[in-house]
Structure 1
Amino acid sequence: MRILQIIQKKQYRGAEIFASQLSNHLINQGHIVEMVSIYDGDAILPFKERIMSLSTEESNRYLDFEGWKKLNNIIVDFSPDVIQANAADTLKYAVISKKIHRWKQPIFYRNASTSSYYIKSFFSKLINSFFLNNVDKIISVSHSSKADLNSLFPSTKEKTIVIPIGIEANTERPVVLGKARKNIIHVGSFTREKNHQGLLKIFKQLSAKDTDAHLHLFGEGPLREEIEKRVQEFKLGKNVSFYEGVRNPLPYISGADVLVLPSKIEGLPAVLLEAMYCKTPVVAYNVGGISEIISNSTGCLVEKDNINSFCIEILDVLNNPDLNRIKNAERMVKLEFMNYNIAQKFAIAYKSI
């Protein structure tokens, strides 16, 4: 098959990284894959080929006749069998370009989050209903994401399936984050839904009980400067480190004592699977599809916004790591969530259309 993957931007974000990894595995299976980014970006994504860009402006996304035409020209030149829109504005560009320029290829939309968190107003629901009604298949990252989307847009029920996110095997050695301290790691963009504010409250409470704890924050995003200031306000500067531009966080995750994820929403976060693969214990809020991979036998699941319980679970993991739980988590990921297997499920879904 000839497959065109559309991503929002060249950035180190889950949707773009997974689309790149998925595309590589589809190529390894014998398919021909091209990728195009709507907006420019400077991230070096792991796709083995060149990523084209429409070089459009986000502020113009509802009136971008030139961008929709550029996408049409790419489709005419490449002549794909399947087009996959990977989250966010990619859905808008794919549907509007198809409506205006009348190309015939089926559109697959990858639903990677919790739609109801973003779609609040009547207008937003109305316009997104239009876009979703004009795709051929929706691939949700978790059963939770599927249920949320189907509840918000009942017309999507018959064409929505679930294919989880996958991860890559890691061959790099662990990075030593600091032998004389207990290392807590968080990997995620500095956005509201990742809840860095809540994470700092958790860490401040934890630091009062364990002065050897150190928090490592990996990621980029619009709220990074705000979080850096809050670290200083909490007088945690000596115990918090920031990292950016890290293309592969797995060696750092391998070197940590625990990975934490107190997000407000999630679809199915790859970073939890990566930690499990790396034999690093995980503590996360029970939001989105997280309970589909974390149970008492694979990690620590905490009810949303329960800072005290989150802190207690981290301390327990740091002082008494459960080796059976770590082994169970690693086994589950290797059996069910490796990208070379996940890519085959995508290929079957494409062929069904």
Structure 2
Amino acid sequence: MKILHLIQKKQLRGAEIFTCQLAQYQINSGHDVLIVYLFDGDAEMPVSEKLLIPLNGQKSKRWWDFKAYKALNKIISEFAPDIVQANAGDTLKYSVLSKLLHSWKQPICFRNASMVSNYINSPITKFINSFFYRYTNIIASVSKSSMEDLNNLFPSTTPKTKVIPIGLDIDKINFTPSKYETKQFNIIHVGGFTFEKNHEGLIRIFDRLLKKNNSHLHLIGDGPLRKKTEEKVEKLNLQQSVTFYGYVNNPLDYISGGDIFVLPSIIEGLPGVILEAMFCNIPVVAYDVGGIKEIIKEDITGKLIKKNDEETFVESIIILMNNPELRNKIVSNAKALIELKYNNYKISDEFISFYFKALNDDNKII
């Protein structure tokens, strides 16, 4: 089978990283795969550079980027994929508009990696999204919560939606010695500095925690709200206890050396960094948003906190700090879960089977 993946840009974000990993597994299984990135990006992606093709789109013109729509049509005409998979961001917009303008016939699989309702803020936005979903043949939602959210908002997507979670390259994960000072608890967070990741709330949580326990917060990632977060750290005089690392090529090196992984996001689909932490034997404390409750069960595979309950978030971190028996139980259960359900070998096969649904439906829009 020939598969063409679309990603937003070359960036170390969950949607792009997983797409590259999925593509590599599909290649390993004998399929022919290319990855097209819409916009400029300079991150080193976890896949061979020869598989990556720039579309040279312009984000400021994404609603009328006719040159890029035409370029995508040319790539599809030359590569002749059996299916086109749009992986979050603007990829569905570009694939649908290119298809409508240039009449290519390949079915579109959309990977729904978040909670759509959080981004629908007006009737017009809902109408526009409904239009794009109409031209998908199949939709792979990253979690049951993401699927139900999409289906409730757009009932017409229900018959063509299936839950296919993200997975991990388990065989490629190496455990590295701790990078951190071992006389303190090292709290790890990985994520882009965007409003969804709630760094402002994270700093408030850490400020409370630091008043009770000797800890250090390690922030891996970059993004538009980083400067604002740094200013918040300075305002609270936390500079000696918070380290900003920016983008890193291998976040696992930073995750695996930590003591506790925290994710107080206010919007998530099913974040891969949680799976990575769990596989690396790092206990996770996270808000109950999106599909997180599908992998974190309270005191079984992690600590699950009601959204915006910062006091309980702090208390849960302290409980894990002071209870090694509970930590050991949680990390053992969590790793077993990842090995059983979130291995990319299995996930890749699920996607291939799902593609055949689109092909067997004679490319009709469901």
Q: One fold, TM greater than 0.5? A: yes
Letter of the 1:77 counterpart: E
Shift of 1:144: 0.2
| Cα distance in 2 between the residues matched to 1:326 and 1:12 | 26
Equivalence for 2:284: 282
Query: Of 315, 332, 338, which residue of structure 2 is paired with 1:333?
Result: 338
Counterpart in 1 of 2:352?
347
Task: Find the partner of 1:318 among 313, 316, 321.
Answer: 321
Q: Which residue among 257, 262, 265 is the counterpart of 1:255?
A: 257
Work out the CA distance in 2 between the residues paired with 1:263 and 1:292: 15
Offset of 1:339 from its aligned partner? 1.1
Instruction: Kindly state the Cα deviation for residue 175 of structure 1 after the two structures are TM-superposed.
Output: 3.3
Please name the residue that 1:131 is paired with: 132
The aligned counterpart of 2:271 is 269
Map of 1:16-31 to 2, 5 A cutoff?
A: 16-31=16-31
Instruction: Report the 3-state secondary structure (helix = DSSP H, G, I; strand = E; otherwise coil) of the residue aligned with 1:242.
Output: strand
Q: Partner residue of 1:120?
A: 121
1:114–1:288: 8 Å Cα contact kept in structure 2? yes
- Letter of the 1:178 partner, please give it: E
**Which structure 1 residue ranges, 4+ long, deviate > 2 Å from structure 2?**
none
Aligned to 2:150: 149
Query: In 2, distance between residues paired with 1:333 and 1:317?
Result: 20
Report the Cα offset of residue 172 of structure 1. Answer: 4.4
Q: Which runs of 5+ in 1 are unaligned?
A: none
> CA separation in 2, counterparts of 1:251 and 1:320?
25
Partner amino acid, structure 2, of 1:97: S
Map Cα deviations across residues 213-240 of structure 1 (whole Å, 9 max, x no partner). 0000000111011101110001100000
Q: Is the CA contact (8 Å cut-off) linking 2:205 and 2:310 kept in structure 1?
A: yes
Give the whole-Å Cα distance in 1 for the aligned partners of 2:346 and 2:245: 31
- Please say if 1:246 is aligned against 2:248: yes
Would the aligned equivalents of 2:175 and 2:280 in 1 still touch at CA under 8 Å?
no
Match of 1:183 in 2: 186
Does the 8 A contact of 1:174 with 1:252 survive in 2?
no
Q: Does the 8 Å CA contact 2:175/2:256 hold for their aligned counterparts? A: no
Question: Does the 8 Å CA contact 1:114/1:265 hold for their aligned counterparts?
Answer: yes
| Residue of structure 2 in register with 1:204 after alignment | 207
2:103 is matched with 102
State the match for 1:307 in structure 2: 310
For residue 137 of structure 1, report the CA deviation from its aligned partner. Answer: 0.2
Structure 1 residues 177-233: Cα deviation after superposition (integer angstroms, max 9, x where no partner): 1112110000000000100000000000000111x2000000011101110111000
- CA distance, structure 2, for counterparts of residue 181 and residue 194 of structure 1: 25
* Equivalent AA in structure 2 for residue 47 of structure 1: V
SS of 2:211's partner is helix
Q: Match for residue 363 of structure 2? A: none
CA deviation vs aligned residue, 1:294-338 (integer Å, no higher than 9, x gap): 002100000000010000000111221321121010000011101
Cα deviation, residue 70, structure 1: 0.3
* 2-structure distance, mates of 1:173, 1:340: 24
Using the TM superposition, give the Cα deviation of residue 48 of structure 1 relative to its aligned residue in structure 2, in angstroms: 2.0
**Distance (Å, rounded) in 1 between the aligned partners of 2:34 and 2:308:** 41
Q: Which residue of 2 aligns with 1:295?
A: 297
Q: Distance in 1 between matches of 2:225 and 2:58?
A: 21
The percent of aligned pairs where both chains have the same amino acid is: 51
| Cα deviation digits, residues 96-118 of structure 1 (max 9, x gap) | 00001000000000000000111
**Structure 2 counterpart of 1:41:** 41
Q: In the TM superposition, what whole-angstrom CA distance separates every residue of 1:7-63 from its partner, at most 9, and x where no partner exists?
A: 011111100000000000000000000000000101111112421111121110001
Give the gaps of 5 or more residues in structure 2.
Answer: 359-366
1:220 alignment counterpart:
222
Q: Which one-letter code corresponds to 1:348 in the other structure?
A: S
Distance in 2 between the 1:55 and 1:92 partners?
15
Q: Which residue of 2 aligns with 1:6?
A: 6
State the Cα deviation string for residues 122-172 of structure 1 (Å, max 9, x = none).
Answer: 111111100000010000000000010111111101111000011122124
Q: Is the 8 A contact 1:215 1:239 kept in 2?
A: yes
* 2:362 aligned partner: none
Task: Report the Cα distance in structure 2 between the residues aligned to 1:14 and 1:76, rounded to whole angstroms.
Answer: 29
Q: Contact 2:10 / 2:43 at 8 angstroms: preserved in 1? A: yes
Q: Secondary structure at the match of 1:209?
A: coil
Report the equivalent of 1:232: 234
| Aligned equivalents of 1:340, 1:218: Cα separation in 2 | 27
